[in-house]
Amino acid sequence: MAPNPIILPRKRPRNHQEQSALGLTLPLVATSFTVLLVVVSHWARQWLVSGCAIENLLILYAAGTGPRVFPSVPLWTLLTFFNLVYAVASTSWLLYGCFTVACWPFVLVTCLFQFEFAADIARKCLRRMLLDLHFTRDRIAVFNLPALEIDTEVSGLMVIRGVTISLSSLTLVAHGVEVGIKLTDDIELALHADEVRVLFFRRIEVGDVYSNLKGGKAEMTFAEVDEEADDDEDAFFNETALLRAATAGSEGIRDRPKLRSGLAGGSYIKNTSAEAGLDDIKTLSPDSRIAEQQYRDMVTEIRTTSAIYQSRARVRQAAEKQGLNLENENDMRAAICAELHNLPSVPHPPQRSVKVTTLQNLSKPAMKRFMHRLPFLLRLLLAPLGYFHPITIESINAAGSGQWLKELLQQQVFKHHADNSAEVRRLQHRITTWLADANFCLQLTGVDGLGQVSLSTSFDIIAYLHFADIMAYRSLPQSGILKQVIRLGGADATFIIPSFLLPHHEHILPPRPTIEDKKEMEEKVEEADGIPKTVQAEQEKERVVQDEATITMSVHASLPAAFDQSLLTFVAALVKATKIIEFDKEVERLDPDKEAEELPSAPVSRASTQVSDETTDSTILPMQKRVQSDLSGITTSSGSSGRFKAFTKTLQQNLKEASINTAGAVSKESIKDFMRDVHQSTKDGMKKTLVGSMVNDRWIAKMVGKAAANLERAQGEVGYSAAIPMPLEPYRPQPGGDGHLSKILP
């Protein structure tokens, strides 16, 4: 049997009073020794004036009583290194002055970090002096910020309801981000995010992002907003048309049942004068305990009154009533995104806004010229920002309404074709039934992004995006039905952006194309060897002639992929409808009615126009039998357009001969009516034969189902690359600008 191990007696820990006594002994001894040295020695007085002696004592006091700066570094190692730096700096008056200037601010920071009473005094003083900022512990917070009005290429409004900066962790947190952008007159984009965390020099973390694409004036918040000339351009803060539209939109949702009035921003929307400015920014109490509680209440108020929080609560209530299970977080996000679609784009507009152009004009012309001459400084700033700040987004949820998609299909695809074809009407009804009263949500989860900006202009800007999972949902808010229609194994995207598209980099733009350049490109097209090289040369020629650059986009989707049966049925119906419409357009293009209207009409007498039924029948019926015989031969064939052209020409020739032979026995109107009937019969026969043989429902369903089944078992990736054209004229130097200035650091 193995002997029992020897158990040494555990050392008894000292109590708190003993530790405090030992912790204060060393600082008191060090303080007494420092005072003695200052009295008797000149170099000790210089040591004290530089701040090094004070910093040593502060570190010693904190080591015995509480937290100290650089806790991971051993105490004596830290003191030795700090005094060694002072010893080197004391050998030169210049180094001594630099050390003193840097040491005293560090002494202040050490006091604020190590001693609570010093931090409390600083917070109370700053709360009285800077009413716009709120100090709680190591955090600086500001609430009820003015909105940022986007008035550049597009119109929009961006609202951040609160910002918190943590000094100890170097972290910035934006609470309640709401963005509404008017892309075109009938399309608007709304973005919502509860929290965005920026960890300086580490990463950027974003929670769930919900975006809604709204089409039509019924869905848009800023549909009726136009540029107004009565806005005060000289005022820093403005109450603009965008703010008034956002306020009117939020007013409409305040009375919705079981929603707090804060969802509509009721407590934040007031009519005040323009002189109010920053008076509405909330301040905190000088007392630290009360200020901390007020800060927590404000953050909680922002979180609980956000549109995302309220929509989640409504979705859960509706699911409980209907007996649905939404425990899956992906399903919950899709339902929330559908619920957000009916809300205003900016549910909590503030009282005032500041324009982007106003902020751009704050910098002085001399500073603009300085930055224009040193574009290297911009790259020197963007390179570490992109490298040290990779972006992670928990999920991106983009939704659109089926009603808007239905209107787009009607405008772009169906148009008037449904009025002339019963088959198109049937397919249109099937397609619109699947779209109507439904919302569609595209969900991207686990998003990682990284941008690289090189210090050298020889390298392009590269942006990477990776999506861990991709899903698409179809939801019916009224009935609570939510179904996943598409799911992919993930995707990644790469964007390559030319460096000369950066601001102040017009000196490396490609020169404007000249006549010689165009001729040279034409020669390259003619001398290209093979079809692929010819196509590439033609694209390059078009790019040079149009004076455009390209942003290369490459997207890869990871397989396998799963598709819902209802989506496959919808796709099959849409494919068949487009093919039928394509045949209709082809038949209309070959319409012989236009040529029939140009047939020569022989002069006839009034007596000759009054023909008997026997004469008409004897002239028209034989020709009609011959036409029907030719038509039957066409409809039973493969249906080529060349055969149809030959038939129409033969028909026109026969009609001309018949009109001459009858010598006016048949009127011009009778010939037109006959041709119209024959033409309609021809089109119907052609369409019926072609659609029946080439656009068969069973064949389309079989092919779509077979492709979907193969994708569910496939492995690998499916890629797509494209070049996004970018006109270079807006980036070129404008007359009267700073483009003529030479570059110091290009």
- pLDDT tens readout for residues 40-51: 888 889 999 999
Largest CA distance in the chain: 144
Reported confidence tier of residue 473, pLDDT bands at 50, 70, 90: very high
Note the pLDDT of residue 279: 47
What average pLDDT does the segment 539-548 reach?
Answer: 89
**What are the tokens at 556?**
């890869």
Note the pLDDT of residue 645: 55
Answer yes or no: are the C-beta atoms of 133 and 126 closer than 8 Å: yes
Exposure string over 52-73, b if 16+ CB within 10 A, otherwise e:
bbbbbebbbbbbbeeebeeeee
Comparison of pLDDT for 153 and 652, the residue scoring more: 153
Cβ neighbours around 683 below 10 Å, total: 19
In degrees and rounded to multiples of 5, residue 546 shows phi and psi of: -80, -5
Mode of pairing for the β-strands spanning 353-355 and 203-215: unpaired
What average pLDDT does the segment 321-347 reach?
Answer: 88
In degrees and rounded to multiples of 5, residue 223 shows phi and psi of: -65, -40
Runs of H (alpha helix) within 597-696: 606-609, 613-635, 641-661, 668-694
Distance CA 510, CA 543 (A): 12
What average pLDDT does the segment 401-405 reach?
Answer: 86
pLDDT at 523 over 80: yes
Comparison of pLDDT for 582 and 99, the residue scoring more: 99
Note the pLDDT of residue 465: 95
Note the pLDDT of residue 739: 67
Distance CA 595, CA 592 (A): 5
pLDDT at 395 over 90: yes
Note the pLDDT of residue 480: 77
In degrees and rounded to multiples of 5, residue 592 shows phi and psi of: -85, 0
User: Across the chain, what does the average pLDDT equal?
Assistant: 77
Q: Determine what percent of the chain is predicted with pLDDT higher than 90.
A: 27
- Per-residue pLDDT tens digits for 640-686: 445 555 555 565 565 555 555 544 444 556 666 666 666 666 656 65
Note the pLDDT of residue 192: 96
Comparison of pLDDT for 617 and 348, the residue scoring more: 348
What average pLDDT does the segment 614-630 reach?
Answer: 48
Of 51-55, 394-398, 466-470, 615-619, minimum mean pLDDT range: 615-619
User: Ranked by mean pLDDT, which of 377-386, 471-480, 681-690 comes out on top?
Assistant: 377-386
Answer yes or no: are the C-beta atoms of 392 and 203 closer than 8 Å: yes
Residue 142's closest CA among 156, 124, 130? 130
Distance of CA 272 to the CA centre of its chain: 33
Distance CA 122, CA 110 (A): 13
